[in-house]
Amino acid sequence: MTTALLWFRRDLRLADHPALLAARDAADEVVPVFVLDDVLLKSASPVRVGFLVQALTDLRSRTDGALRIVQGAPADVIPDLVQRSGASSVHISSDYGPYGSRRDAAVKAALGKVPLVATGSPYGVSPGTLLKDDGTPYRVYTPFLKAWRARGVHSPALTPRSVTWSDGGLRTDALPAAPEPVIEATEAAALARWTQFRDTDLESYHEIRDLPGVDRTSRLSPYLKWGLLHPRTLHADLGSSAGAEVYGKELVWRDFYADVLHHQPQTAREDLNPLPLEYDEPGALFEAWKQGRTGYPIVDAGMRQLLAQGWVHNRVRMIVASFLTKDLHVWWPHGGRHFMQHLLDADLASNQHGWQWTAGTGTDASPYFRVFNPVTQGRKFDPSGDYIRRWVPELRELSEKHIHEPWTCERPPADYPARVVDHAAERQESLDRYQRARGK
């Protein structure tokens, strides 16, 4: 009897899972394991831990209770489990993040003669695959997309009819206590969410995706982050509408940012294209932003949604990010860290590079003049004010006319904060700082 270990990380599913197929083909029985890594857990908010716990509980029942959940450092835990179970190989999906790739290198070294076999990755096209003709990586999205399409995404992997799961005689630790997740964290729920989105909203995605009050985006990002779904599954099932075209491109952004971060891991903490901009230290204004008390309704709605749900509509993410960087002049990593802490879908590559896009120091052409006006954005993308009413109860009674600018009311709601800064003045300040940075 031969045994293979299948070490789950960001691939918490059984369908379309190449590493699972590799493990099954490598041995008679498969021992599924998950390592509760302190390094990753300590930075996760309770809502995010809740999502992970439910996903693991589901995976455990679907592996006939075999899934072993073990606390500790992977470089200690995995070799120990291999020894105790007598496994002859360990199977993983590649992780291309800065921490994940270092961790896997350490585990590989610690395993010695037992191979750590990487099959597949969480991306449609794995980081490092696409290079320009001169052999260097892409730094601009559109050419990357072109190359991505020319290569084409693989078809989904078959789901194995049966796998002989085994617990390998190993112990399992208790899952951490965590609240019920706000969205159901099971593979079945992920697939159901996809088919529902595909059948009802995908076709018009390009028209309604920017409207946070309508809120008909796919909401698949937490599933993609943890790998309850693989983007390959979605690409294969998109069909050919205008909405599907735009949605597919959004999925490729995820691959692009992972590729950029893979080649330049330092951009998890630093600007890809540094500019000598003057920044303000985060203080009381930063706190107001985090609490959703800036006095700008759409900004506050977004920041409150983040705290309540661990999820924010994409359009609103850009608005609040622009506000922090361009109106409050705070360096993006401060905001990035807050997002990473609270977002259910917290993906290092997409998050850090999304922020850098807003800050004008990332892969974008960084047009200095792109400063979002929170009032204009609110009127344009939440014209009725419904999104604001949902998240800012103090403003519920305000009309469409006033809800984006409560300070224009005859008697502004007393319990809603006054504007912490004047947007027009801070916009000019941002442009001035940009000008000075260019001059240096």
Question: In the complex, which residues of this chain contact DNA (CB under 7 A)?
Answer: 132-133, 136, 138-144, 146-147, 210, 250, 253, 273, 314-315, 318, 354, 357, 363-373, 376-377, 380, 424, 427, 438
Shortest distance (Å) from residue 133 CB to DNA: 6
CA-based Rg of the chain, rounded to a whole angstrom? 23
Task: Break the chain down into helix, strand, coil percent, rounded to 5.
Answer: 50, 5, 45
| Residue closer to DNA, measured from CB, 101 or 264 | 264
Shortest distance (Å) from residue 329 CB to DNA: 17
125: exposed, middle or buried (C-beta count within 10 Å: 0-12, 13-18, 19+)?
Answer: buried
Shortest distance (Å) from residue 112 CB to DNA: 40
CA 385 to CA 390: how far, in whole Å? 9
Shortest distance (Å) from residue 144 CB to DNA: 7
| Residue closer to DNA, measured from CB, 108 or 216 | 216
Shortest distance (Å) from residue 400 CB to DNA: 14
Q: Which two tokens stand for residue 67?
A: 């899934």
| Residue closer to DNA, measured from CB, 6 or 318 | 318
Shortest distance (Å) from residue 391 CB to DNA: 20
Shortest distance (Å) from residue 47 CB to DNA: 23
Specify the residue for token string 């072993």.
Answer: 68
Give Cα 37 to chain centroid, integer Å: 19
CA 41 to CA 430: how far, in whole Å? 36
Q: Residue 62 in contact with residue 87, Cβ under 8 Å? A: no
Shortest distance (Å) from residue 353 CB to DNA: 8
Helix residue spans in 152-241 (DSSP H): 187-200, 205-208, 221-226, 231-235
| Residue closer to DNA, measured from CB, 369 or 415 | 369
Q: Which two tokens stand for residue 307?
A: 């705290």
| Cα three-residue angle 117-31-58, rounded to 5 degrees | 110
| Residue closer to DNA, measured from CB, 141 or 331 | 141
Shortest distance (Å) from residue 257 CB to DNA: 8
Give Cα 403 to chain centroid, integer Å: 30
| Cα three-residue angle 217-325-407, rounded to 5 degrees | 80
Q: Which two tokens stand for residue 423?
A: 């947007």
| Residue closer to DNA, measured from CB, 83 or 428 | 428
Q: Residue 325 in contact with residue 366, Cβ under 8 Å? A: no
| Residue closer to DNA, measured from CB, 3 or 356 | 356
Specify the residue for token string 């998890």.
Answer: 268
Candidates 175, 171, 34, 149; CA nearest to 93 is 34
Pairing of strands 29-36, 89-92: unpaired
| Residue closer to DNA, measured from CB, 161 or 440 | 440
| Residue closer to DNA, measured from CB, 289 or 357 | 357
Q: Which two tokens stand for residue 7?
A: 């070490």
